[in-house]
Amino acid sequence: MVAPISGISIDALHSAERSTAQRSRQTEPAAEAAGFGQSISDALSSVAAGDAEVAEAAKAAATGELQSINDYMIAATRAQLTTEITVAVRDRAVSAFTDIMRMQV
């Protein structure tokens, strides 16, 4: 049985971006910052959950309890993709911060 993919997806990132843009027009800056922080926290929790799922599937594979190797491969690929997306977002944030710090006032 194949479990549905959960975690960070490109569509989820786009919808989060759209909802953040809508909130920025409707809310105070402090409330927007809290919403952005919560979004980042949720995304990192999703990455951690994916890693835990892979570790559990690897343990099941090692003990012979894994029903299907496909489950392990799907979990491993999902964890790899969410980690790659997280690293890309982090790199982009660091780049943006560096650009802001280089700006002359």
Q: Decide if 61 is inside a domain.
A: yes
> DSSP 3-state assignment of 5?
coil
Q: Decide if 14 is inside a domain.
A: no
What is the reported pLDDT for 75? 87
- The total of structural domains in the chain comes to 1
**pLDDT by residue (tens digit) across 19-44?**
655 655 555 555 555 788 888 888 88
Range of the domain at 76: 28-102
**pLDDT by residue (tens digit) across 39-90?**
888 888 988 998 998 999 889 888 988 888 888 898 899 999 999 999 999 9
Residue 97 reports pLDDT greater than 90: yes
Q: Decide if 10 is inside a domain.
A: no
Q: Decide if 9 is inside a domain.
A: no
Q: Decide if 19 is inside a domain.
A: no
- Output the CA torsion 33→36→42→47 (10° steps): -120
DSSP one-letter string for 16-43 = HHHHHHHHHHHS-HHHHHHHHHHHHHHH
Q: Decide if 57 is inside a domain.
A: yes
Q: Decide if 70 is inside a domain.
A: yes
Q: Decide if 17 is inside a domain.
A: no
SS percent in the chain: helix, strand, coil, step 5: 80, 0, 20
What is the reported pLDDT for 1? 52
pTM for this entry? 0.57
